[in-house]
């Protein structure tokens, strides 16, 4: 038998700490996500638990669906929240739609495009990847040529990829996909809420998202929306588990979805009026997801998106005022995350550690070819506020000056403040 070495796991430094009450140090989370949850979301999550078939709870499920229809600007019936992180939603939707050897075109312009490729291949797809250099996005002509050449069943793309901080324009893409008989699945985990995503107007067939960025919630629940065309592709593969089958049950014509938990057809049944049992709903996460959408819709989509845009402008003005260079194509930059080149002679990890340890502020590095080359500052959700942005920039000025970076002290925060004024 081949020798296998498992990863190392260091022992708990202080075993008695496991019996102490949780009391994390306060942190201002200004990285690419997660961010600080809105206190109203945390309050909602402390509400009384209910059984998953309690009429009250089924009512909350319907309310959550209605709120996310407004959030996604869609009339799709199958707009709901999945139990799991945003990644689980990508996989659940993709695995349930893709049958073995189906053609999938993945549009990749960063690390999370690579993730779509990974999940599609694990789902058994015949995958073609169209790549754009990191720091750029695609134009529609490139995509149309690839679709025409490959003839995929599904086109998968991230709207925003936090690894590169780039935002792919989506207007017109759905129409192109449908012209060639392809479905369009969009991963909007990093972007939804920070930038427009009118699902129906842009003819997007499926969108998956997460709470932990612009929606100002915790990771662990994933809002999605599927139009009827996409839902029918999934429901064609409906195969009930044995314990739920009745004498008049007839399986769908498609192949059985490989995962029980990731079976979107059974989850459609679960959220339907039939309330067919699939799993025990994560009650507190549904409460949190409902509150995230309620807060956002109550603020108004246009106002919330403008708030994120203003925060982005302030961050960009601030870092440029510190003699720092913003990463990537600024015309296609995400409004909620900003990439910043680490200047020569500055230890990027040391700066991040100083921000965390001395100021309780977290910013991010990046992945792959950008690891150690850029910082990423996120200003989104509950943290897309002037005080969060200004405090982060002020702390960064102090730390950069201590590291010997040359710039005019105060120029960054002044530039950001003028943006807000």
Confidence of residue 405 (pLDDT cuts 50, 70, 90): very high
Is there a domain that residue 1 lies in? no
Whether the per-residue pLDDT at 13 is higher than 90: the answer is no
Whether the per-residue pLDDT at 413 is higher than 90: the answer is yes
Condensed to tens digits (0 to 9), the pLDDT of residues 361-372 reads: 999 998 889 999
Whether the per-residue pLDDT at 342 is higher than 80: the answer is yes
pLDDT, average across residues 15-25:
91
Q: What is the CATH number of the domain that holds 348?
A: 3.90.1150.10
Is there a domain that residue 136 lies in? yes
Q: Note down the domain range covering 370.
A: 28-33+301-420
- Per-residue model confidence (pLDDT) at position 366: 86
Is there a domain that residue 18 lies in? no
- Per-residue model confidence (pLDDT) at position 36: 98
pLDDT, average across residues 194-198:
98
Provide the sign of the torsion angle of the four alpha carbons 49, 93, 294, 391, taken in this order: positive
Is there a domain that residue 4 lies in? no
Condensed to tens digits (0 to 9), the pLDDT of residues 301-330 reads: 999 999 999 999 999 999 999 999 999 999
Identify the CA nearest to 105 among candidates 81, 130, 124, 123: 130
Contacts by 404-410, CB closer than 8 A, 24 or more apart: 404/345, 404/346, 405/322, 405/323, 405/343, 405/345, 405/346, 406/323, 407/321, 407/322, 407/323, 407/324, 408/321, 408/323
Mean model confidence pLDDT for the chain: 97
- Which of 297, 328, 345 is at the close of a domain? 297
Condensed to tens digits (0 to 9), the pLDDT of residues 135-183 reads: 999 999 999 999 999 999 999 999 999 999 999 999 999 999 999 999 9
- Which of 279, 297, 315 is at the close of a domain? 297
Mark whether 49 and 166 lie in a shared domain.
yes
Mark whether 222 and 190 lie in a shared domain.
yes
Mark whether 66 and 81 lie in a shared domain.
yes
Q: What is the CATH number of the domain that holds 193?
A: 3.40.640.10
Phi-psi region of 244 (alpha: psi -120 to 50; beta: other; left: phi over 0): alpha
Is there a domain that residue 320 lies in? yes
Whether the per-residue pLDDT at 378 is higher than 80: the answer is yes
Percent of the chain with pLDDT strictly greater than 70:
100
Token pair listed for 157? 């793309």
- Per-residue model confidence (pLDDT) at position 298: 98
Mark whether 172 and 104 lie in a shared domain.
yes
Number of domains in the chain: 2
- Per-residue model confidence (pLDDT) at position 2: 81
What kind and span of H or E run contains 320? Answer: helix 301-321
Mark whether 372 and 235 lie in a shared domain.
no
Whether the per-residue pLDDT at 278 is higher than 90: the answer is yes
Percent of the chain with pLDDT strictly greater than 90:
95
Tell me the pTM.
0.95
Question: 33 and 378 in contact (C-beta within 8 Å)?
Answer: yes
3-state SS class at 223: strand
Mark whether 112 and 249 lie in a shared domain.
yes
Is there a domain that residue 47 lies in? yes
Mark whether 176 and 241 lie in a shared domain.
yes
Identify the CA nearest to 78 among candidates 64, 90, 88: 64
- Which of 259, 282, 297 is at the close of a domain? 297
Mark whether 139 and 209 lie in a shared domain.
yes
Mark whether 67 and 147 lie in a shared domain.
yes
Condensed to tens digits (0 to 9), the pLDDT of residues 43-98 reads: 999 999 999 999 999 999 999 999 999 999 999 999 999 999 999 999 999 999 99
pLDDT, average across residues 282-302:
98
- Per-residue model confidence (pLDDT) at position 68: 98
Condensed to tens digits (0 to 9), the pLDDT of residues 242-256 reads: 999 999 899 999 999
Is there a domain that residue 2 lies in? no
Whether the per-residue pLDDT at 272 is higher than 80: the answer is yes
Mark whether 163 and 246 lie in a shared domain.
yes
Mark whether 245 and 374 lie in a shared domain.
no
Mark whether 99 and 240 lie in a shared domain.
yes
């Amino acid at each position: 038998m081949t020798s296998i070495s498992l990863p190392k796991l260091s022992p708990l430094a202080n075993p008695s700490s496991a019996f102490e009450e949780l009391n994390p140090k306060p942190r201002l989370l200004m990285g690419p996500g997660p961010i600080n949850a809105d206190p109203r979301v945390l309050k909602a999550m402390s509400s009384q638990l209910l059984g998953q078939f309690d009429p009250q709870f089924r009512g909350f499920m319907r309310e959550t669906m209605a709120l996310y229809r407004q959030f996604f600007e869609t009339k799709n019936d199958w707009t709901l929240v999945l139990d799991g992180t945003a990644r689980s939603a990508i996989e659940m939707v993709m695995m349930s739609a893709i049958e073995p050897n189906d053609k999938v075109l993945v549009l990749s312009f960063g690390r999370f495009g690579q993730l779509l490729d990974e999940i599609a291949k694990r789902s058994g797809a015949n995958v073609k990847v169209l790549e754009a250099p990191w720091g750029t996005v695609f134009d529609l002509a490139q995509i149309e040529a690839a679709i025409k050449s490959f003839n995929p069943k599904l086109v998968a793309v991230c709207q925003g990829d936090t690894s590169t901080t780039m935002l792919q324009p989506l207007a017109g893409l759905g129409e192109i996909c449908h012209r060639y008989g392809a479905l369009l699945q969009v991963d909007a985990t990093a972007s939804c809420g920070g930038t427009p995503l009118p699902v129906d107007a842009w003819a997007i067939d499926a969108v998956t998202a997460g709470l932990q960025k612009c929606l100002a919630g915790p990771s662990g629940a994933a809002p999605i929306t599927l139009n009827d065309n996409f839902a029918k592709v999934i429901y064609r593969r409906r195969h009930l588990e044995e314990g739920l089958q009745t004498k008049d049950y007839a399986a769908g014509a498609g192949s059985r979805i490989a995962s029980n938990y990731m079976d979107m057809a059974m989850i459609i049944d679960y959220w339907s009026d039939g309330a067919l049992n699939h799993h025990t709903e994560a009650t507190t996460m549904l409460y949190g997801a409902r509150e995230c959408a309620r807060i956002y819709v109550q603020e108004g989509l246009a106002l919330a998106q403008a708030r994120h845009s203003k925060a982005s402008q302030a961050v960009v003005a601030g870092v440029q005022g510190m003699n720092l260079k913003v990463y990537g194509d600024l015309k296609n930059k995400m409004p909620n995350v900003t990439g910043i080149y680490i200047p020569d002679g500055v230890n990027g990890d040391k700066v991040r550690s100083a921000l965390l340890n001395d100021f309780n502020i977290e910013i991010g590095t990046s992945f792959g070819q950008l690891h150690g080359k850029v910082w990423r500052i996120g200003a989104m959700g509950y943290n897309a506020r002037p005080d969060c942005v200004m405090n982060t920039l002020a702390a960064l000025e102090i730390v950069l000056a201590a590291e010997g970076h040359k710039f005019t002290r105060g120029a960054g925060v002044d530039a950001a403040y003028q943006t807000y004024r």
